Structure 1
Amino acid sequence: MRLRPPPAAFRVLATALLAASAAAVPAPAAADPAQEGGGPQVRFATFNAALNRPDEGGLVEDLSTPDDAQARAVAEVVQRTRPDVLLMNEFDHDARGRAARLFQDDYLSEGQNGADPIAYPHRYSAPVNTGVASGMDLDNNGSAVTEPGAPGYAEDAFGFGAFPGQYGMVVYSMYPIDTDAVRTFQTFRWADMPGALLPTDPATGEGFYSDDELETLRLSSKSHWDVPVRTGRGRTVHLLAAHPTPPSFDGPERRNVLRNHDEIRFWADYVDPRRGGYIYDDAGTRGGLRPGAAFVVAGDLNADPEDGDGHPGAVAQLLGSGRVDGTVRPGSEGGPEAARLQGGANDGHTGDPAFDTADFGDDPAPGNLRVDYVLPARGLPVRGTGVYWPTESEPEAPAAAAASDHRLVWLDVRA
């Protein structure tokens, strides 16, 4: 979902295996170690669920009863697609994990609109940079705002947010999560990436950020997580989760465009043993992913390969990586229908709307885009993939539209 600047919209913000229509999304196969490849078929999914609220504690309050209409729609989408491992973006983080627990207990565990309940025994969440005060004037407007909720606070935070944890992330899993081996990269400094695309002021040619700001400015607008999931028989698949900043809402320096590019580059470097040596995690451990490890990159990357506001090479860094199977392109029948009916910016797009994952509208542009990804490691056997975007004639369409301006994207792999 495209995050909007305050105050108007804190509440609503940003292979070739083609999926069948959303209504025909197949249920994932039961975990059976005897299946081909020696491991179960596991459905990974990403969903920017727009479960963010304008005030701290607002999501916990909304989820404290089973009556929140949007949360019910989000739960229905999850219940109809039934992922085994689900990353949810734009899910407000709270230190006690109450929102994540309430969403399970009051929404996922209750059948929504005729869908079967679904229960995830394992969850993971952690702090993010959105809404965390930087103490610096990161938008260069002449003042550093440090009081949460004050005008301009979100723009000066390490990641755009009205309070710490807004637009956070959570992982739900049917399989055990090796929490002791999770790596987080919340505090990795942008300037520590070799060749980082740090913004400059085009009027002066000087760096947009001061040297003092670069000493502490973090790369991740939310965070980057390496979450190892034990899928059975000693096999682990690393869920590489992130939600880069939207490449918009900046100025001629294009600081958000460039940050989005480098947030995506982080995973491309992390999975490549030749390029990840500079990386360090929040515990101080250096280096990227172990060579040969299985992984799935997931999240709302806020970058379309062909259209939209982003850097033209941003997501190509992953799609063209020798370690990532960028030929896997989840699709739907609802995406092309929406682009055709809505027209506007969609008429000028060069990308195939079958692969769109988000309906951003046309006031202003960019229309519908492919910004949500579930990308497997090259060599990880893929058994199916799709975007849950029902056509307007299908009974599931209202819930999909009411849940979020993004659509859930899923990937079945033999893991």
Structure 2
Amino acid sequence: MRCLALTVAAALLALPAAADTIRIATFNAALERPYAGALLRDIERGTEDVMAAVSVIAAVQPDIILINELDHDPQRRAALAFQQRLSEAGVDLPHVFTAPVNAGELTGLDLDGDGSLTGPRDAHGFGRWPGHYGMALFSRYPVGEVRTFQTELWRDVPDSRMPQDHFGLEAENLLRLSSKSHWDVELRLPGAPLHLLAAHPTPPVFDGPEDANGRRNADEIAFWLRYLDGEPVVDDTGEARPIGPAPVVVLGDLNADPADGDGWHDVIAALLAHPRVQDTEPRSQMAATLTGGVNAAHQGDPALDTADWNDERGPGNLRVDYVLPDAALEVVGSGVFWPMEDQPLAAEAAVSDHRLVWVDIRWDPASD
């Protein structure tokens, strides 16, 4: 059954990457679990949502993929078990990078004022346990140098949007910027390195008039603006240095649409327009048909949407997942894996409220 589905699904996309073409993808697979160890258990059991995510990735056949909402554990057991599931489905991605995230890392303070110090909103990033809502990068190519930016304080961000007097001085002095983490992961491609800039900012909702989550989402996205501009940023080892000259790809569920929904539209728009990267505007035929409910009032092109949210209460479908290649790279294809309802793997794709986004680049280091 799985082989048949994958064979049929191959017709929905371009052929898997050729020798000089690399397919890079991002996918919020919605595989988070409410307590530690549950995801590993479910991967080993092969639960429906796990196998649906595997089937979607196998249909796309990426060479590199960032998965958001894949819970992190210190031994990487869940990520390695998922890697094995991918291998069994014909997706050979032998190199895995994952690291701690701020979700579920308690601050020791009652940030939400409910009288408890141990709730999910009392952590540096919303989460029920350390590693909740983690992320992992799977690659056909070896991992080189990695810089992580998990611990930068929100208050220390230049022109920080942190709401004044909302959290209290003690919280302002320790709350981190990144709700999960920001990563600069070097991959050793043939002839030259490629740097993956990965993150999963907090959604700009679930707060009050102070707009704390909206402001934090904006500053998390603006982190990449600072980094791409060449600002020396202090990483988790304490070293401050700017981004290097190697080509980059910014990717992840950024939880922001440049035209619709909540959030600071100008910040994500600035990232899409940054001269260091290019926006290939991946799209799908299915998303273009979903214009009912609140979607009718949206300003953005519906074909670009990557998340399928409530059409009646809102926010409707939005573009929030991105793969933004370096402006110097040649792009030869892109898309959003969102099959039409009568096509194979439509049900599997709908297990997550996000859809996988992919971009193909021509890799020719001899021309660099």
Please indicate the TM-score interval, normalised by the length of the shorter structure.
Answer: over 0.9
Amino acid at match of 2:342: S
What's 2:115 paired with? 143
Of 69, 91, 95 in structure 1, the residue corresponding to residue 70 of structure 2 is 91
Of 357, 370, 385 in structure 1, the residue corresponding to residue 319 of structure 2 is 370
Of 61, 75, 98 in structure 2, the residue corresponding to residue 82 of structure 1 is 61
Any idea what the Cα deviations from partners look like across 1:146-181, whole Å, max 9, x if unmatched? 3xxxxxx11110000000101000000001111xx1
Paired residue total: 355
Q: Does 1:282 align with 2:244?
A: no
Amino acid at match of 1:108: L
**Cα contact 2:293–2:312 (8 A) shared by 1:** no
Deviation at 1:23, TM superposition (A): 5.0
Deviation at 1:191, TM superposition (A): 1.3
Any idea what the Cα deviations from partners look like across 1:301-335, whole Å, max 9, x if unmatched? 00001001111213112012121213x10001011
Q: Distance in 2 between matches of 1:288 and 1:384?
A: 30
Give the 3-state SS of the residue equivalent to 1:216 in structure 2: coil
Any idea what the Cα deviations from partners look like across 1:196-250, whole Å, max 9, x if unmatched? 11113xxxxxx213232222110000000000011111x1110000000000001
Q: Does 1:242 align with 2:199?
A: yes
Give the 3-state SS of the residue equivalent to 1:212 in structure 2: helix
Unmatched 5+ residue regions in structure 2?
1-8, 364-368
Deviation at 1:383, TM superposition (A): 1.0
Which protein is richer in helix relative to its size? 2
Q: Does 1:155 align with 2:121?
A: yes
What's 2:210 paired with? 253
Q: Distance in 2 between matches of 1:78 and 1:288?
A: 33
Name the CA shift for 1:193/1:336 in 2 (closer, same or farther; >3 Å).
Answer: same
Once the two structures are superposed, the pairs formed by residues 247-326 of structure 1 within 5 Å of their partners are 247-273=204-230, 276-277=231-232, 279-290=233-244, 292-326=245-279
TM-score normalised by L of structure 1: 0.83
What's 1:123 paired with? 96
What's 1:213 paired with? 171
What's 1:53 paired with? 33
Of 189, 192, 196 in structure 1, the residue corresponding to residue 153 of structure 2 is 189
Q: Distance in 1 between matches of 2:49 and 2:347?
A: 11
Unmatched 5+ residue regions in structure 1?
1-20, 32-39, 112-116, 147-152, 201-206
Q: Does 1:170 align with 2:136?
A: yes
Deviation at 1:194, TM superposition (A): 0.9
What's 1:405 paired with? 353
**Cα contact 2:97–2:137 (8 A) shared by 1:** yes
- The percentage of aligned residue pairs carrying the same residue is 50
Q: Does 1:392 align with 2:315?
A: no
Q: Distance in 2 between matches of 1:314 and 1:363?
A: 27
TM-score normalised by L of structure 2: 0.93
